[in-house]
């Protein structure tokens, strides 16, 4: 039986494409044993508001050069209450706000108690997957022996995981050497993020690149109709 694996850094309440990638594989490996990067998706994401797209960012401490995502701490625990307030204010009139608000607010209360960015991201990824009915096994790169350079590490993790197929996001085309996977007896497949249908979203113009919470609050249990991997 073919086993398909994806390896990706954790994001803060990611967009729908991130969860499509998770659903499309048998094992999703959170790759937080790599350097934390500023102004990226690790600690921030976007919501739709009446005045346009707004960034929600978790304040973090950068304590040393080369700090890993897994070594990144929260700088101000009040972020969670602020983020939830911003979401509630922007989506109060969304069709499914009343249904999902208590659940999402609970996630934020729990996340506000977390010290580490990786734990916050893992919490939201786990809870959203459960809400979307995604049963993929989610593991951590910390569970594997990490060796080699950028691509060699990915190949070795896949080998340790018993993968036959590595599913990659399109951004990796610039550096990923498929021959390295082929030599290890694996093939590479590429996730595509084009062709997503639009859904009822307040405050036009429509924006695909926002947190998955936007989809949940606007279409509720019909979310699968606006995603790719079913």
User: Mean pLDDT, the chain, as a whole number?
Assistant: 95
pLDDT of residue 150: 83
Q: What is the pLDDT of residues 201-219, one digit of tens each?
A: 988 999 999 999 999 999 9
Enumerate residues 6+ apart whose C-beta is below 8 A from 40.
none
Q: Is 180 exposed, middle or buried (0-12, 13-18, 19+ CB in 10 A)?
A: middle
Q: What is the pLDDT of residues 72-127, one digit of tens each?
A: 999 999 999 999 999 999 999 999 999 999 999 999 999 999 999 999 999 999 99
Pick the range with the lowest mean pLDDT from 55-59, 89-93, 108-112, 170-174. 170-174
CA distance 47 to 61: 23
Percent of the chain at pLDDT above 90? Answer: 88
Task: Count Cα atoms within 13 angstroms, Cβ side, for 33.
Answer: 16
SS (H, E, C) 64-115: CCCCEHHHCEECCCCHHHHHHHHHHHHHCCCCCHHHHHHHHHHHHHHHCCCC
Rg of the chain, C-alpha, whole Å:
18
Whether 148 shows a pLDDT value over 90: the answer reads no
Strand runs labelled E in 98-207:
137-140, 165-168, 187-190
Lateral strand order in the sheet of 165-168:
137-140, 27-30, 4-8, 165-168, 187-190
CA distance 47 to 203: 11
Q: How many residues does the chain have?
A: 230
Pick the range with the lowest mean pLDDT from 15-19, 126-130, 139-143, 146-150. 146-150
Residues 38, 40, 44, 49: is their CA dihedral positive or negative? Answer: positive
Enumerate residues 6+ apart whose C-beta is below 8 A from 60.
36, 43, 72, 73, 74, 75, 117
Strand runs labelled E in the chain:
4-8, 27-30, 44-49, 52-57, 60-61, 73-74, 137-140, 165-168, 187-190
Percent of the chain at pLDDT above 70? Answer: 99
CA distance 31 to 11: 10
Enumerate residues 6+ apart whose C-beta is below 8 A from 130.
none
Task: Count Cα atoms within 13 angstroms, Cβ side, for 104.
Answer: 25
């Amino acid at each position: 039986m073919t086993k398909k694996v994806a390896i990706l850094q954790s994001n803060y309440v990611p967009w729908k494409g991130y969860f499509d990638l998770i659903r499309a594989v048998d094992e999703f490996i959170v790759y937080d044993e790599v350097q934390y990067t500023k102004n990226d998706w690790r600690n921030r994401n976007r919501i739709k508001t009446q005045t346009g797209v707004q960034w929600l960012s978790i304040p973090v401490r950068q304590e040393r050069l080369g700090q890993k995502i897994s070594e990144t701490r929260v700088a101000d625990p009040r972020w969670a209450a602020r983020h939830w307030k911003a979401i509630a204010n922007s989506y109060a009139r969304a069709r499914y706000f009343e249904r999902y608000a208590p659940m999402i607010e609970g996630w934020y209360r729990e996340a506000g108690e977390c010290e580490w960015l990786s734990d916050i991201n893992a919490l939201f990824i786990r809870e959203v997957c459960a809400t979307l009915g995604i049963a993929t096994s989610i593991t951590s790169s910390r569970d594997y022996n990490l060796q080699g350079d950028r691509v060699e590490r990915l190949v070795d993790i896949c080998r340790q995981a018993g993968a036959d197929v590595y599913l990659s996001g399109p951004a990796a085309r610039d550096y990923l050497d498929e021959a390295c996977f082929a030599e290890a007896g694996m093939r590479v497949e590429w996730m595509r993020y084009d062709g997503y249908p639009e859904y009822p979203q307040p405050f036009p113009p429509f924006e695909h690149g926002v947190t998955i919470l936007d989809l949940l609050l606007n279409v509720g249990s019909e979310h699968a109709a606006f995603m790719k991997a079913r």
